[in-house]
């Protein structure tokens, strides 16, 4: 293998730049030519492929976002789009790929490898922490620290005004962010997609305790009962309590990555390139029990990363 391509895809996550930097520089050390593919699979289809050297990634380890850009490509979902992507890779002589992304990235990567046989090693770049085959994903630690700081600040105003806050965090299909942030901030209730929501039990809890009328409730955006607005509307209809909603939104995906995310991204970027050199074909490099492991790419999205139910129970136990 002489030439490889590296790209970021799907939602951006803090640490993607550190991952790109490590992959590029390790590949250069190993004598490979490296090409950056801009805007994920869409850039592969459109031929947005540029050569990279050590200076291309200078000074980016602490930057949020991704210098290569990212996108969700509808064209790549079609056989014609994937054929165009393959032709462009052939035109540049690219023999292997490093892909940093999440579920959608790896679903597309699995199909692409099965159709065209170009080796691809993935690195888990998503704040949701929902990929099978790794304890933590790149960007997760930064996201939960960003959300924690925001909730701490909201608590200050909640206590000052005796207000109840429903705070919505990201997580359409997984409640990892909500659970960790809930425990870390001393929230009284967490709603997550993995467990059924009992709104009546929440109301019973509020009715039971004679306490100042202020509460902090964390709602994962993908909870089956509804989003934070739905919770707040139903809660206000039940109680005469001053209620507010804060939706943290995309601020959780931005910002300079934490030390943990930078180190994880660096280790996995190196592991992905080494995987290609070792002849691996369609795998994801992850970290389990502080060890680098490779998991078949198809398993990373077909299997489910399970939430820590004991940790989720601690929120209600300690409220």
Burial of 1 (0-12, 13-18, 19+ CB in 10 A): middle
Residue 304: what pLDDT?
A: 87
240 annotated active-site: no
Tokens of 279: 């002849």
| Stated length of the chain | 319
Model confidence pTM above 0.85:
yes
Fold of 141-253: Rossmann fold (3.40.50)
CA-to-CA separations, 95 to 76, 89, 92, 243, 283, in angstroms, rounded: 19, 8, 9, 56, 15
Q: Which H or E run includes 5?
A: strand 3-8
Q: Which of 128, 141, 223, 261 is catalytic?
A: 128
Residue 210: what pLDDT?
A: 60
Q: Identical fold at 3-139+257-302 and 141-253?
A: yes
Rounded distance, CA 168 to CA 190, Å?
A: 10
Q: Which H or E run includes 285?
A: strand 282-288
Q: Within the chain, which residues score under 70 in pLDDT?
A: 210-213
The β-bridge partners of 220 are 169
Residue 159: what pLDDT?
A: 82
- SS in 3 state form for 34-81? EEEECCHHHHHHHCCEEEECHHHHCCCCCCCCCCCCCCCCCHHHCHHH
For residue 303, which of 131, 177, 138 has the smallest C-alpha distance?
Answer: 131
The answer to whether residues 51 and 82 touch, using CB atoms and an 8 Å cutoff, is no
Q: Which H or E run includes 122?
A: strand 120-124
* Per CATH, domain 3-139+257-302 is 3.40.605.10: no
228-238 vs 199-208: helix axis angle to the nearest 10?
Answer: 50
Residue 212: what pLDDT?
A: 55
Rounded distance, CA 175 to CA 224, Å?
A: 11
Residue 187: what pLDDT?
A: 93
Query: pLDDT per residue over 18-63, tens digit each?
Result: 999 999 999 999 999 999 999 999 999 999 999 999 999 999 999 9
Residue 248: what pLDDT?
A: 95
Rounded distance, CA 141 to CA 128, Å?
A: 10
Query: pLDDT per residue over 148-185, tens digit each?
Result: 999 999 999 888 888 889 999 998 889 999 999 999 99
**What are the sequence ranges of the domains in the chain?**
3-139+257-302, 141-253
176-185 vs 309-317: helix axis angle to the nearest 10?
Answer: 40
How far the first Cα of the chain sits from its last, in Å, is 56
């Amino acid at each position: 293998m002489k030439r490889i391509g590296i790209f970021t895809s799907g939602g951006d996550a803090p640490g993607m730049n550190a991952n790109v930097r490590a992959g590029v520089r390790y590949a250069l050390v190993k004598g490979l030519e490296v090409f950056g593919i801009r805007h994920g699979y869409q850039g592969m289809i459109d031929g947005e492929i540029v050569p990279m050297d050590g200076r291309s990634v200078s000074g980016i380890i602490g930057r949020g976002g991704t210098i290569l850009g990212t996108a969700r490509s509808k064209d790549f979902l079609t056989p014609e789009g994937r054929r165009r992507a393959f032709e462009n890779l052939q035109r540049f002589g690219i023999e292997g790929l490093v892909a940093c992304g999440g579920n959608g990235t790896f679903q597309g990567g699995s199909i692409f490898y099965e159709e065209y046989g170009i080796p691809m090693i993935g690195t888990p770049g998503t704040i949701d922490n929902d990929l099978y085959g790794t304890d933590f994903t790149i960007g997760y630690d930064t996201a939960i620290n960003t959300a924690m700081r925001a909730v701490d600040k909201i608590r200050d105003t909640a206590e000052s005004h005796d207000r109840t806050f429903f705070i919505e965090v990201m997580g359409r299909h997984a409640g990892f962010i909500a659970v960790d942030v809930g425990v870390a901030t001393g929230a009284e209730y967490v709603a997550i997609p993995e467990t059924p929501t009992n709104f009546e039990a929440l109301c019973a809890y509020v009715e039971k305790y004679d306490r100042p009328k202020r509460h902090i409730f964390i709602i994962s955006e993908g909870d089956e009962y509804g989003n934070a607005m739905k919770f707040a509307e139903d809660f206000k209809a039940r109680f005469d309590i001053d209620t507010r909603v804060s939706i943290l939104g995309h601020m959780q995906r931005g910002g300079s990555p934490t030390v943990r995310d930078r180190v994880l991204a660096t280790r996995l970027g190196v592991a992905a390139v080494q995987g290609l050199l070792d002849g691996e074909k369609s795998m994801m490099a992850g970290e389990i029990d502080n060890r680098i492991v490779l998991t078949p790419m198809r398993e990373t999205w077909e299997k489910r990363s399970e939430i820590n139910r004991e940790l989720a129970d601690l929120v209600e136990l300690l409220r």
